[in-house]
Amino acid sequence: MKNIFTILLLLASNLVTGANITLTWPRNYSVFQRNTTSTGGSANVTFAGQLWNKNSASYRIEKLTATGASNGDWQSSTSFPFLSGIGSSEAATFNFVRNVPTGWYRLYISDGTNTINIKFGVGEVFIIAGQSNAQGAAAATNVGTISNLDCVVSNKNYIGSSLTSYQTLETPVFGVLNSGNMTIGPRGDRPWFYQSLGNQIAQRETGQVIPVCFFNVGHGGSSIDNWYDSMQRTKTMFSSNYANTMVPGTTSTHQNPFGAPPSDNRFPYIDLKNVVSAYGNMFGVRSIIWHQGESETKTLLNIYKTGIYNNAATAPTGYSLNNYDTKLNAIIADTRSVLPGLPWAISKVSLLAADKNAGGTDYDIVNNSGNNLTTPSGNTSVGNTVTQEQANVLSTTSVSYASANSDSYTNATGKRSDGTHFNSLGLANMSDDVYLQISGILSKTPVLSATPAGMGFSQNTTESYTLVTGNYSKYIWARDASADMSLNQGQSDMGNPWTSGISVDFTYKGWAKDFSGRITKIVPYFNVHGISGARIAAESAEAIAYPNPILDAKNLNISFSLTKASPLKLQIVTEQGYVLEQIIKPNLEAGKHNYAFSLEKLRANKNFSFVIYKLKTLEHSENKKIMLVK
């Protein structure tokens, strides 16, 4: 018997599915880091998914303009290479790599009847880190003056103020960054100046579009001590080796110099580690953009101008600004233990401009005296300036400036009345200042995306499959019918190969971690349910649904037989996939079964011309239309 199976469009994620086609990789709107240190360049992009009819399938790749319009085919329609059949069915998975030049593209996949498409790019990927002027603060934003570009995207997995999700990693969801899509996940909730910066980068090469993608792990108010201490705490959760399983341990807190509520001392660094090890590995990275230093001057104020700020936090015991470069270099080194050679771009920032005291009068926060900072009274040296400490880090390999001018902003030229955060003019200036450094940033050799782990599978003599992939340190597998699979970093290793249990919904997926702590998806996901010839057990007789069509107010009856006990999922859905009725049995006994559904409910909406019943058991699956005659 030939089964019929329909996959509904999953709008909540970037996993693109259509009737009888699933695309696991690449993600919709994802950008892969190109391999150049000048212009042009390319990236190896993996294409992985599943076809229910391999015999008529083809794909093509269309080149796009800066606004997302078609610019002709880069790859004309061609058949799939490297198909892996599933049982004796016509279904197959695919997993192959193409070297794709810089630009935006649209991938089309067809099985002769159905077609799906996604957009992906090869360009520049940045990770943003630092404090509030990196993360974004209050209402100010700058989305640029060019509104018709479709080039700049961001991760949309935004966790807001929550500090509880560090253990779980989500498959990223991307979207065009603009005033209608404000988030740069996992920590940024506004475009800030990054959409404007992205627009500038997107157009910098004549005759070519450069896609740009941002991830944001900035934490407002965070000091270099917060970053360094949380790095040490993060390393202990993995026993100093990120390839190990996470053991969160007991929560403790630390405080930042701006007097904000104490936070879990695993933050802010755990967010940076997560993005570097997972998203940086999967998509590549041009550079981390670092903007942090205002908190160091704030700490000096808390020490030497006690009482000026009503919410002044207690200064750290033994605080020394001269340790800034040592601690930042240690943070850089730790990220490079995961992604070797990862470039950094450091903004020159310390909040040395005028600020306001409690009475509203401007004053100089500290006074420069040669190469040293002194207290306002001028008689106590506190060592190098913050910006000099940041400049010391420039001697580190693959570190460049991101911005050298933000300290020059005043309330009139870019700072809000708090003297710290950028206003709209300041955001425009920051976009320009970082772009002035872009040649230096692009001159550093980027980290390229890793090829995702490939999923292999074999059918067992039982109603299950064995999954296998390459040589990694840790494997997490799932038999899960949901659109995507999150990774719990505290979950125990499940081994390789892994043999599944028995379930109605056979959708297999997984994650893998290598021996340096780099994380990758295992692709493609593949779905056995609904594929004739993919199971070994004998199928039951075809279910009978009657009456069909339905002409009067009778019940809809669905009858079927089971040869052995089995889980059951029986749904009545609309053409759009809305569930009208549902019956789920975890272990329905063998034998004959009949379920009746009231037509009064099914025909409550006169716009329905038909419904679909979907029957799933271990032995059998089918979908069938039931006509609702008015």
**Which one is predicted more confidently, 344 or 7?**
344
Q: What sign has the CA pseudo-torsion 367, 372, 373, 379? A: negative
> Do residues 331 and 325 touch, judged by C-beta distance below 8 A?
no
Burial of residue 525 (CB within 10 Å: 0-12, 13-18, 19+) is buried
- CA distance readout (Å), 147 to 28, 156, 199, 404, 520: 21, 20, 9, 28, 34
Q: pLDDT category, 541, cuts 50, 70, 90?
A: very low
**Which one is predicted more confidently, 507 or 326?**
326
Are β-strands 556-562 and 591-597 bridged in parallel, bridged antiparallel, or unpaired?
antiparallel
Burial of residue 159 (CB within 10 Å: 0-12, 13-18, 19+) is middle
Rg of the chain over CA atoms, in angstroms?
Answer: 28
Cα distance between residue 512 and residue 453, in whole Å: 7
> Do residues 349 and 133 touch, judged by C-beta distance below 8 A?
yes
Cis peptide before 497 (omega within 30 of 0): yes
pTM equals 0.81
Burial of residue 482 (CB within 10 Å: 0-12, 13-18, 19+) is middle
- The string of pLDDT tens digits covering residues 485-536 is 889 999 999 999 998 876 655 788 999 999 999 999 999 998 876 676 665 4
**Looking at the predicted structure, is the pLDDT value of residue 363 above 80?**
no
- The string of pLDDT tens digits covering residues 433-459 is 999 999 999 999 999 999 999 999 887
- List strand residue ranges (DSSP E) for 199-301, in order: 212-216, 253-254, 263-264, 287-291
- The string of pLDDT tens digits covering residues 75-123 is 999 999 888 888 778 889 999 999 999 999 999 999 988 899 999 999 9
- The string of pLDDT tens digits covering residues 183-211 is 899 988 888 999 999 999 999 999 899 99
pLDDT of residue 28: 95
pLDDT of residue 106: 97
Are β-strands 566-573 and 579-588 bridged in parallel, bridged antiparallel, or unpaired?
antiparallel
**Which one is predicted more confidently, 363 or 233?**
233
> Do residues 342 and 399 touch, judged by C-beta distance below 8 A?
no
Q: pLDDT category, 365, cuts 50, 70, 90?
A: very low
Output the DSSP codes for 434-502: HHHTHHHHHTSPPBPPPPPEEPEEEE-SSS-EEEE-SS-SEEEEEE--SS---EETTSPP--SSEE---
Cα distance between residue 338 and residue 603, in whole Å: 58
Cα distance between residue 7 and residue 16, in whole Å: 10
Q: H helices of 238-323, where?
A: 269-274, 281-283, 294-304
Cis peptide before 26 (omega within 30 of 0): yes
Longest dimension (CA), the chain: 96
Identify which of 213, 362, 382 has the alpha carbon closest to the alpha carbon of residue 297. Answer: 382
Helix (H) or strand (E) holding 425, with range, is helix 424-436
**Residue 442 Cα to chain centre, angstroms:** 23
**Looking at the predicted structure, is the pLDDT value of residue 311 above 60?**
no
pLDDT of residue 312: 47
* Backbone φ, ψ for residue 78 (5° rounding): -150, 160
pLDDT of residue 320: 77
Cα distance between residue 423 and residue 140, in whole Å: 6
Looking at 224-238, 469-483, 523-537, which range is the least confident one?
523-537
Residues 6+ apart with CB under 8 A from 353: 365, 407, 408, 409, 410, 415, 419
Q: How many C-beta atoms lie closer than 10 Å to residue 552's C-beta?
A: 7
Average pLDDT over residues 51-67: 92
Q: Provide the 8-state DSSP code for 178.
A: B
Cα distance between residue 448 and residue 284, in whole Å: 4
- The string of pLDDT tens digits covering residues 376-432 is 555 456 667 788 889 999 988 899 999 987 877 877 778 776 778 888 888 989 999
CA trace torsion 306, 310, 313, 315 (10° rounding): -10
> Do residues 568 and 583 touch, judged by C-beta distance below 8 A?
yes
Structural domains of the chain, ranges and CATH numbers in brackets: 124-442 (3.40.50.1110), 544-627 (2.60.40.1930)
> Do residues 63 and 56 touch, judged by C-beta distance below 8 A?
no
Cα distance between residue 198 and residue 127, in whole Å: 13
